[in-house]
Structure formats: structure tokens, C-alpha cells
Structure 1
Amino acid sequence: MRDYSASPVEMVASLWQNRELITASAKREVLGRYRGSVMGILWSFFNPLFMLAVYTFVFSEIFKARWNAASESKTEFALVLFAGLIVFNLFAECVNRAPSLILSNVNYVKKVVFPLEVLPWITLASALFHCAVSFAVWVIAYVVLYGTPHLTMMYVPFVIFPFIFLVMGLSWGLASLGVYLRDVSQVIGIVTTVLMFLSPIFYPATALPESYRGWLYLNPLTPIIEQTRDALYWGRSPDFMVLLIYWLVGALVSWIGFAWFQKTRKGFSDVL
């Protein structure tokens, strides 16, 4: 039986060697999601636009929500909330789909010589497309409501990039685990819902008592949500020390997930 390399070099090499396959597959996946609809891919733009409009109305007009007591802005809460949701949705789309990636592509395991390790990359590429569209909607809304965005917005890709490594590590690990434990997909659905409410999306971290605030920062989504929000809305530069630590942790998690996937993939065909 073939041995699959689990080295970090192989992880990067696989991405580079299969970049055209990943791009084509992600494009097909995105287009396939809207195939048959009247507006087609335009729905990828209208969906986040509609959700932003709903958040703005509900939180500013119905709940009279303000991100901080000193603010009188009716739209601030919706934009700050939506910035956090952009990060969370990227995470949730990849992680929720990961446990079923191999199970839904059995032909790739049994009948076709296919680089199975690229399946999480394809999901990520599709999720990044929707993330980019949501980001564009956010920027347009900011321009309409407030004018020229902050230059710190240019830091967002540098904030998201280490987050991608973390997401990929979890996706590889869950994709493999989902083959052997079919209950994983159900558990992950619950976990991501819990994480959404345990992340500073609907509230600032400062809203929690200091005794609980430390636990909030153990959530891997918290620093990325706050750094993204700072760069987008508040006009603050990222905390580069936090990002450096996240780079190191994300790279480690990514390699561990890839190594686990490579070591366990030999048994996929037997289980399926």
C-alpha cells in the first residue's frame, strides 16, 4: 500500500502542484451552487447584502443596539456585527463541511486516482470567494454610510491569512475523522453554533467581566474577529505580536491536521 508523505513540504507542494485542479473545482462548486436560478451567481452578492440590511434594521431600529454607550450611530452595530460574521462564516463553512468531504466523494477514493488532500482546499477556495463578496458588500455599505474607508483595511488579508492555516488544519483532521466516526458532523454542527455565541460577534469582549474575559480569548476565533474588526471599522493597526503567535499556532495546527490526514487516508477505502 502506498505511503503518503506527511511533511510540511508535501503540504505546500501538493497545493502548488494541484493549484489548477483546486481552482477549476472551486469554480465549478461556486457556479453549481447557483445553477438553475434566475440571477445565478449574483445571489452570492445579494445574500450578504440582504443580511446586512436585515441586521441594520433589526439591531438599530428594533433593539436600538449600540456597540458602546458613547455611540449614537444606528448603523455602527450592524457593520461591526457583520465584520465579525464574515470571519465566522468562513470558519463555519469549511469546518461544517469537512467531516463529509470524503464521504460525499467516495468515487475519488475507490475508483479514481485523485489527490484527496486537496478537497479541503477546494472547500476553502469556495468559502473565500463568498468571504470576498461579503467583504465587498461591507466596504460598499461603509462607503455609502460613512465615506472613505480606513487605510488599515489593507491589513485584513494579513489578518485572515494565518487564520486560513488554522481552518485547513481543522478541515484535514475532521475530514479524516468523519470517515471513521460518522457522528462527527453532528457534533461539529453543535460546536460551531456554540462558538458563534462564545465569540465576540454580537458583543464586544469588554462586555464580559474580567474574570471571564480570559476564557473568551482561548477561543481561536476571538483574536481574528477583533483584529479584522479593528482594521475594517475602527481604523486600528493589528497587534502584530498576536498575529505572529497566531501564525505559529496556525502553521502547527495545519501541519498536524495534514499529517493526521495523510497517515489515516490509507484506511479510507476499507471503511467506505
Structure 2
Amino acid sequence: MQALALALHLARRDLKNRYLGSFSGGAWALVQPLVQLAVYAFVFGYLFKARVPGADAPGYVPFLVVAMWPWVAFSEAVTRATTAIQDNASLIGKVSLPRPALVLAPVLASFALHGAGFVALLLVLAAAGTGVHLSGLLLALPALLLLFALALGISLLLSAMQVFVRDIAPALPQILMLWMFISPVFYARDILPEEYRSWMDFNPYSVFVEYFRFALLGMPPPGARGVVVGVAAVLLAVVTGYAAFRRLERHFEDFL
């Protein structure tokens, strides 16, 4: 409970300091993904004429929103949390505190910020008659919690490794971008050659994409194998990340 209370305090401070002195305040957290979404929607939906398979398929913008916005929360959480121990080097060894809370805080802040933006955008899309089912938000909540756990597990592992291998943080944005493009964020797996479609089941984020589209857009649900792989990936990330963090934290002071 002490770790959670500290993480919540640090998350609130992070959100406050992140936009302190900004004219737009926290609104920039909504504007930035919106601009990114507009660019992707223009490039893929207008220039490349991307279409969603199926006669009763939703428009391309809601199709993209329900997959990309959770990704923004996930990728920002991992990126910011990876340097959490390094960024708080002045506290390590000087103050007795639960160190995993330093990693949990940016993950909480990112999901809280972009989660609120996600709900706001879904409300706008539903009001515009784009086919978004707001009743599916309750169905989507378990997937969001699992995605949060996946981000936390990966962040615990990477933040501990970042103390010893400083090349991780600079390389991470490129790795996450590659992961986004090989996930069915901008496309449905149905457009892939049939022999490659089943490989999507082994990409953990694919099950989240397809589940969000199932819950919020009424599209087909992910297959059983994809769900098993996705849940297994979350459990593996949390267990491995926490174990590695606990094993390596005793050496943090020597390398910070």
C-alpha cells in the first residue's frame, strides 16, 4: 500500500509538472495524439485509400482510434517509465522508498491521461454517429487493465536494465514504432495473405487491437489462441519484469 500511495503521489506530481507553464495545460495531451491521428488517417485513409473489410464495417477513423489511442498510452508509459530509475538517481540511496513505485508512477500517469482522452474521443465519435458502441466501454475495461499490466511489466524490466545499459532508452522509440506497424493498428489482419494471418496471434498487441474493435465497434472478436498468447504475455511480462527488477535493484546505487 505504501508503494501504491507513493506511486499515486508521484503520478499526480508528474501530470502537474508535465504541463506546468504551458498555455494549453493538459489539453496538449489530447491535441498531440489527435494531430497524430489526423496525419495517419489522412495518409492511410485518404492517400492510400485504406478500407475496413466487411460490408457493415465501421469508418476508417473509428477503426483507427480504438486501436491507436490505447497504443499511445502504452507506448508513452513504457518510454517514460524506462528512464524512471535513472531520472530519480538523486533519490536512490538517500531516501528509503519502494523503488518499483518510481516505475509505476509514469505508467499510472500515462494511462490516466490518455485514458481520459480516449473516453472523451469515443464520446465525440459516438455523438457523430460513427458506430462506436459506448456500452462496450465496460467490456473494454479488462483489456485496458491487462494492457496496463503489460506496460508495467515491460517497464520494470527495461527500467532496471537501463541503469546498466544506457542504450535502451534511445533505441526504444524505434522498437515501439516497429511494433506498432507490425500490429493490426492501421489495417485488419484480413488484408494479409492468408498464410500470414495466423502469425498475428503471436503478437501480444494484436489481441488488444481486435478486442477493442470487438467491444467498441462490434467487429469479430479475437481468436482463442490470440487471447491465450496475449494473457500469457502479460503474465510473463509482469513476473519476469518484477523478478528482474528485484534482482537488479540491489546494484542500482553502484551504477547511478
- Normalising by the smaller structure, the TM-score range is 0.7 to 0.9
Deviations 1:45-85 (A, max 9, x none): 33344444555555555444322264697xx1111112111
Confirm or deny that 1:155 pairs with 2:139. yes
Q: Does 1:105 align with 2:82?
A: no
Q: Distance in 2 between the 1:18 and 1:122 partners?
A: 10
Shift of 1:216: 2.2
Aligned partner of 2:101 among 105, 112, 118: 118
Structure 1: segments with no counterpart, 5+ residues: 1-15
Return the alpha-carbon distance in structure 2 between the equivalents of residues 244 and 212 of structure 1: 19
- Which amino acid letter does the alignment assign opposite residue 141 of structure 1? V
Which of the pair has the greater relative contact order for Cα pairs under 8 Å at 6+ separation? 1
Aligned to 1:66: 51
Assess if the C-alpha contact under 8 Å between 2:44 and 2:186 holds in 1.
no
Distance 1:112 1:17, change over 3 A: closer
Deviation track 1:180-202 (CA, whole Å, cap 9, x = no partner) reads 11111233222111101100011
The correspondence of residues 34-53 of structure 1 with structure 2, limited to 5 A, is: 34-53=19-38
Which one is further off, 145-154 or 21-30?
Answer: 145-154
1:130-169 alignment, distance < 5 Å: 130-146=113-129, 149-150=132-133, 151-169=135-153
Partner of 1:85: 68
Secondary structure in structure 2 of the residue aligned to 1:36 = coil
State how far apart, in whole Å, the 2-side matches of 1:20 and 1:162 are: 21
Q: How far apart are the structure 1 equivalents of 2:164 and 2:219? A: 46
* C-alpha distance 245-61 of structure 1, shift in aligned 2 (>3 A): closer
Are 1:201 and 2:172 matched, yes or no? Answer: no
Residue aligning to 1:95: 78
Match for residue 9 of structure 2 among 1, 24, 28: 24
Of residues 231, 234, 248, the one that matches 1:264 is 248
- Residue 221 of structure 1, CA deviation: 0.7
Cα drift, residue 162 of structure 1: 1.9
Q: How does 1:233-244 map to 2 (within 5 A)?
A: 233-234=217-218, 243=227
CA contact (8 A) 1:86 1:135 kept: yes
Cα distance in 1 between the residues matched to 2:19 and 2:225: 41
Specify the SS of the correspondent of 1:26. Answer: helix
| Alignment length (residue pairs) | 255
Specify every segment of 5 or more residues in structure 2 that has no aligned partner in the other structure, as ranges.
none
Question: Which runs of structure 2 are paired with 1:244-259 in the superposition (5 Å)?
Answer: 246-259=230-243
Task: State the SS of the aligned residue for 1:193.
Answer: helix
SS at the partner of 2:88?
A: helix
